[in-house]
Amino acid sequence: MNFAGFKVVDADSHLTPVADLWTSRAPAKYKDRILHVENVDGVPHWVNDGEVLYPERGGGVIDRDGKKYPFHESMTLWGTDQVCEGAYNTDKRLEVLNESGIHHQVLFPNSVGLGGQDLGTGKDPILKRLCVEIYNDAAVELQTSSKLRFLPMPIMPAWDVDLCVAEAERMEKAGMRGVNMTSDPQDLGGPDLASPKWDPFWEACESLNMPVHFHIGASITAMNFFGQYFWPSQDVYVKPAIGGSMLFIGNARVLINTVYAGIFDRFPKLRMVSVESGIGWIPFMNETMDYELWENAPAQFKALKRKPSEYFKEHWHATYWFERGGGANLQGIVDAVGEDNILFSTDYPHPTCLYPSPLASAEENMKTLRESSKRKILGENAAKLYRL
């Protein structure tokens, strides 16, 4: 896979925000209230407008010496003093990219929810909007200063449709290449995504050519599921393995809801991305969408302009990183999903990330694929989607 002049794009990674991101940028009258880190019983915690949220964590499973650890030992205990510097330091992250042979990397958050949902839980609407705008302004600066090496996905103020439209427009004008959306804005006081009230937002994203990203676990609802999938008596090391496995296919819920809601009939050029979900579940879900809707809601089936299974290839991308196809043919799975619809992911520095040699891992995992499929997955599809 040593293609001459080929640029690999990692479409799913995570960056932990520095502790003073918001306090260093907020207007003076909000500095004491805006999202910040303070000690609570001797432990650094994120605090927002007087509400203690959760401990400040490093957001990675790789330590300062480059050694990987299980979720239970790293994600739940480590701060930024223990995790690899690439988890939060963008200069160090750039070194990781260069060492790994990756040219562009799409960034999603740590600490504020994978879909940015935790920024919308406060009570003060001005403070909530300020938190989102500060995060996004920093993202714009990072994308610009890195000359598109980093592609952070801006967070949306999902409690308000009009604010989302305005922020999507502001981010597109700033040169950003998509938006990061929670899958359950009703958790934050907004309408659920099946509601036609979101049509102005879909229209904006379609017209602005801003793909809408849904990371797994990108809502309060989804993360509540994460803590309930396992049986309580399971070992503490096994619990995140169960929760993580179920989160991978949790975006099947997002896919089926968007299709059945008729969003793509109203907005035929709208693109969405299922982030960190893998691809193996997609062919089955496409089949079951046809079967279930015809069986249970035939009138709604006939109301759609196409069969439910036909919408994925026109409107969705999904990220791939560790799958080998099991006993099946990986090429067959790729063809069923659509080789034009798959993006490459390392998930750095989270659990299951392809580390320390992501491209060597990809070469082993993808060895049965056609060269054209490899090229599209590793970079060509992302280059097209993100206008690189």
Query: CA 237, CA 245: separation in Å to the nearest integer?
Result: 13
pLDDT value at residue 5 = 76
pLDDT above 70 covers what percent of the chain?
99
Q: What pLDDT does residue 326 have?
A: 78
pLDDT at site 218: 96
- Quick check: 3 pLDDT over 70? no
Confidence of residue 234 (pLDDT cuts 50, 70, 90): very high
Give me the residues paired with residue 214 across strands.
274
Residue 82 has pLDDT above 80, yes or no: yes
- 225 pLDDT band, cuts 50/70/90, is confident
Give domain 9-16+85-385's CATH architecture: Alpha-Beta Barrel (3.20)
4 confidence band (pLDDT: 50, 70, 90): low
What pLDDT, in 10s, does the model give residues 301-335?
999 999 999 999 999 999 999 999 876 799 999 99
Q: Which pTM does this prediction carry? A: 0.97
- Mind listing the pLDDT tens digit for each residue in 147-182? 999 999 999 999 999 999 999 999 999 999 999 999
Q: Looking at residue 111, what is its pLDDT?
A: 87
